[in-house]
Every structure is written in C-alpha cells, then in structure tokens.
Structure 1
C-alpha cells in the first residue's frame, strides 16, 4: 500500500488541487450525456416501477417492461418516454463529470503524481467514496427534479406547486414550497449509494490493473474498446446487484405522491407491505438500462480523456 506523508496540511491541499484536470470533467460529462440521451426511457420506467408500492391509486400499473413502453406511448405519447430528460442529462452529465474529476484528482494525489502506482482495492474504494460524496452534494437537487418529472402522469390531478414545467421550474417550486430540505430529499439513501460507486470503481480499476499486470504492461496503458466495455459491464453488474435497494428507497422519498418520515420509515413501510421484493422493484429495467449506460459512459470517458490528455508529441500534425 502506498504511504502518504502530509507534514503540511496547506501544502497537501495545494498538491491535491494541482492534480485536478478539466479533461476528466469534460470526458465524464461527455460519457454521462451520451448514455443518458440513448437510454433515458428505461430510466423513467425503472423509477415508475420502483415507486409502485401497490397501494397508491395514482401510480400507473404495468405488466412488464414492454407493457410499460406501450402504455406510456399510448397515454402520454413518445414525449412521455422522455419526461425528465433535461434534468437527467444535466444530472448525469454533471454527476459523471464531477465524479471522474474528483476521483482522478484524489487517486493521483494518493499516487503521488505517478499514474503507474497501483493502489489496491482499499484505496480505490476510498478515492471513489470521497468523489461520490462530493458529487452527490452538488447534484442531489437535480436528481430530485428529475425523479419528480419522471413521475408526472398525464391522468393525475395535483396542485400547481407539485406540477413542474421543467428543470428550472421544478427547482424553484420545490425550494419555495419545501425549502432546502426538499431539494435534498433522498440524500441519506444517496449517501448509502456512494458505496455503489465505490464498489463499481474499485472493481473496474482492479480488473484493469490486474489485466495489465498479467500482460506485463503499465497499468495506465490504453485498452481496446471491447476490453473497456467488458470491464465496465462486469463492475456495474456487481455493484448494481449489491446496492440496488437504496435506489428504491431514494426514489420513494423523492416521489411527490407519497410522504415518509425519513429513510427508516420508508424502509419499514416497504418491508411491512412488500417484504424483500419491494426493495428490488424495477431491478430488471434498471439493469437493462444501467449496464449498457455504464458501458457507453466508460468507453466514451476513456477515449475522450486519453485523447485530451495525450502528450502533444503524440498528436500527428497534417503534413
């Protein structure tokens, strides 16, 4: 394990700041936006499955994934599949951008500036967890608006202060009627969700490192697209299977149609009425969405970041 010596806290902070590179932010935003635009309808359906507790009459009932697609298009049109897409693009783009920015800065700081120093599972998880907390603080309000826009059904009749015309309108109305606390609904289970990102990044990084070490190559060498896609898919499946229940709790806390007295109340109510199955509602559309989304995100990020960060000498100028 790499040891870190920080005799001077102020110089340590400056050293950390020196490792922040905007290229990781741009590459992360590119990956998040690309995957979101392609796969948003599956995210919307996952949210609607997750909040369907079987007791709320206003929540639409779907027999399955294909039934959900058909029903939404029939009742809400094709545009219905893209409810909440704007905050989702903003949220996913900024979340991935900040995550990769913070993660790589923290990781490089721990490595002492040497990208070829292996960290091991523990330090990879630590860097990813810290990046996850920082990203969540900055993006949680966007996720609240995105969830509520996805849960606006054409047949519902709700008060004007709970019907949102878009992201900005949603942010303003939630702040006016519920204050800062309203914008940070689902933050506690979101904190548990940091473990999801930490587990995913640790698995992804360790697989890349072990693979390159097996081939006797530097751990930061660029891989092929197939290799990136494979490692991204495996890491996402492991992380999603292990941590999915927090997403159900988070979506229900952010749902404008139900009120819970906190995360623990939501957990106990879900268990009482739906047992363990309630915590895995929407898992199938979630996996169908998040696995390819992660593959697209990581592939885009790796290629964009490698392109932007490659030395000027490697860029061939036209003759």
Structure 2
C-alpha cells in the first residue's frame, strides 16, 4: 500500500500503546532487580525491622544500630536469618523493576510517538513514572506483604507461622482475605511519588548530560555516569518520601494492628514524634542507594544489548525481504 495514499485518506490514528511494548525492558528490569536483591537483602531485612520498631511491641527485637542489628541477627538466627524473606523479595523486586521499566518505557515511547530521541520534560516523565508505579503496585503488593511478614519472623516461635512464600500467601488470604494481601496499599500508592521523583530525576539528568554533549538523549552512557545519576536520583527520592515506607511496613506487620493508614500516622506521631517516620532511614539509604545503582546499571546494559540485538535482527529481515 502506498503510504502517501494511506495518509491522504485521513483515517483516524488508532490508540495502540501496546505497539510500543518491548520485552527487552522487562527482562533487563528483572535482571537488575534480582541481582541487587541477592546482594543487598540483609540490609533490607534490617531496614524493615527498624521501621516497625515502635518501642511498644515486645515481639519486635531491639537493635542499637546497623552493625548491632547485623551481628545480633547473625548470632541469634545464623546466616539464613539475614536472608529471611529473600524469596518474595527476589520475586517482588525482580517483577516490580521488570514491570516498572516495561510500563514506563511503553508509556514514554507512546507519548513520544515512537521517537525515543525526543525529550519529554520533567512533568511528562513524572506522569509516565507515576502511571507505571500504580500499575506495578496493583500487581505486586501481595508479594511485598509476604516479604515484610517473613522478614519479621524473628524467633523460633514465630518462624513456624509462615513456612515460605507460597504458604504465607495462602495463610494471609485464608485468615485476612484479599484485604490482608493488600495491606499497606494506600501508603504504597502515596509511594508512587517516590518512583515518579526518582525516574524523573534520573531521566532529566541523563537527558541534560547528553544534550550538553550534543548527543541524542538515548545515547548509551559510561558505567560511572549511570551509577552517579542513579545514586543522585535515589537520594533525592528517598529523602522526600521515606515516611510512607515506615507507615507501609507497620501496616503490613502482623505483630501490631492499626485501624488504617491515618491511625498508624497518628500513633507514630503521638508516641515517637517526627523521628518515628524516619526510623531505619540510615539502613534504608545504605541499602537502596547501592541497590538502585546496581539495578540501573544492570538494566541499562542489558536493555541496550537486547535492543541492539533486536535492531540487528530486524535489519537483517528487512534486507532479506529486499
């Protein structure tokens, strides 16, 4: 069909966001999430235990600091204790990063009309990231509930409560229903702003750097540049949105019950003040900044490799058709 003739017919442009879906972003995101999780899971476990420690729940262990928590867990629970909850964390982190990157790049490319060299600007980047975060959270929240519960099994008595990821999913659904699997969903929705701020900052830093070098914005960067931009974007996002993570972890904790998100916020403020909303921040930053750097570095390299491979295959197919 003659493309010029097709355009002249004035047929309406179809809304087809799925035309921009590329599995390469999913695979690269999963790869980054899994690698960073396997390396840094112990810090995530410690962060969760700090976050839910309200000073009033006897079943939650007390730690004096990051190094104290690490040595205490290792001494009392062994090496396996440092990796409690690692299975749902690998599933959750891998699937979350994979879905997030896929949704984000699909939405972004759709907005760009397929032209990946066109900058979107901060507002549209943040919008694409927020939409991606909502879709990802809807699919992965139950996994994060299970991860939190498994990370908080701190002693021999509680360790029999959940025998693993599948058992925990079944038990939570049996005892608490769908609502149990979606505990922390409301603050999780607020946490979409975290990903939106992070991705917007990361994309704008990359774009500005490539524009400064007078190169297309999708030009591949050096390892140190990816690491630096990932670290800066994560620090900015974490500083702005950390309190929601504390509220979310406490709502998902089965040792203490709150009557919803607002009740959790009120009790935390009443008994602990503003410091309560930043418990575990040091452990969190110690984990999430290097985790983000590893995740983005793996993602960028894997995605560029896979997309270049796709392009080579498509070029060969076009040449053979000719």
TM bin, normalised by shorter chain, reads: over 0.9
Unaligned 5+ segments in structure 1 are 1-6
3-state SS of the aligned residue for 1:58?
coil
Counterpart of 1:100? Answer: 101
- Residues 172-187 of structure 1 aligned to structure 2 (within 5 Å): 172-187=170-185
Counterpart of 2:197? Answer: 199
- Residues 236-255 of structure 1 aligned to structure 2 (within 5 Å): 236-255=234-253
- Residues 207-226 of structure 1 aligned to structure 2 (within 5 Å): 207-226=205-224
Unaligned 5+ segments in structure 2 are 1-10, 316-322
| In 1, Cα distance between equivalents of 2:314 and 2:206 | 23
3-state SS of the aligned residue for 2:191?
helix
Structure 2 residue 292 is matched with structure 1 residue 267: no
Superposed CA RMSD in Å reads 1.5
3-state SS of the aligned residue for 2:263?
helix
Counterpart of 1:3? Answer: none
Structure 2 residue 279 is matched with structure 1 residue 281: yes
| In 2, Cα distance between equivalents of 1:60 and 1:35 | 26
Structure 2 residue 315 is matched with structure 1 residue 312: no
Counterpart of 1:4? Answer: none
- Residues 104-253 of structure 1 aligned to structure 2 (within 5 Å): 104-156=105-157, 163-253=161-251
| In 2, Cα distance between equivalents of 1:294 and 1:30 | 12
| In 2, Cα distance between equivalents of 1:208 and 1:157 | 46
| In 2, Cα distance between equivalents of 1:165 and 1:111 | 47
| In 2, Cα distance between equivalents of 1:107 and 1:184 | 28
3-state SS of the aligned residue for 1:276?
helix
Rg larger for: 2
* TM-score relative to the length of structure 2: 0.92
* Alignment CA distance shift 1:173-1:216 (3 Å): same
Counterpart of 1:293? Answer: 291
Match of 1:302 among 284, 300, 308: 300
Structure 1 residue runs of 4+, over 3 Å off? 155-158
3-state SS of the aligned residue for 1:279?
helix
User: For each residue in 1:67-92, what CA deviation from the matched residue of structure 2 results, as whole angstroms up to 9, or x when unmatched?
Assistant: 00110011111100000000000000
3-state SS of the aligned residue for 2:264?
helix
| In 1, Cα distance between equivalents of 2:91 and 2:158 | 28
* Alignment CA distance shift 1:145-1:157 (3 Å): closer
Partners of 1:58 and 1:156 within 8 A in 2: no
| In 1, Cα distance between equivalents of 2:156 and 2:300 | 43
| In 1, Cα distance between equivalents of 2:78 and 2:210 | 48
Counterpart of 2:41? Answer: 40
**What is the CA distance between 1:99 and its match in structure 2?**
0.1
Aligned length: 303
**What is the CA distance between 1:154 and its match in structure 2?**
1.3
| In 2, Cα distance between equivalents of 1:204 and 1:99 | 14
**What is the CA distance between 1:151 and its match in structure 2?**
0.2
**What is the CA distance between 1:297 and its match in structure 2?**
0.1
* TM-score relative to the length of structure 1: 0.93
| In 2, Cα distance between equivalents of 1:208 and 1:269 | 41
Comparing 149-158 and 209-218, the one that deviates more: 149-158
3-state SS of the aligned residue for 2:201?
helix
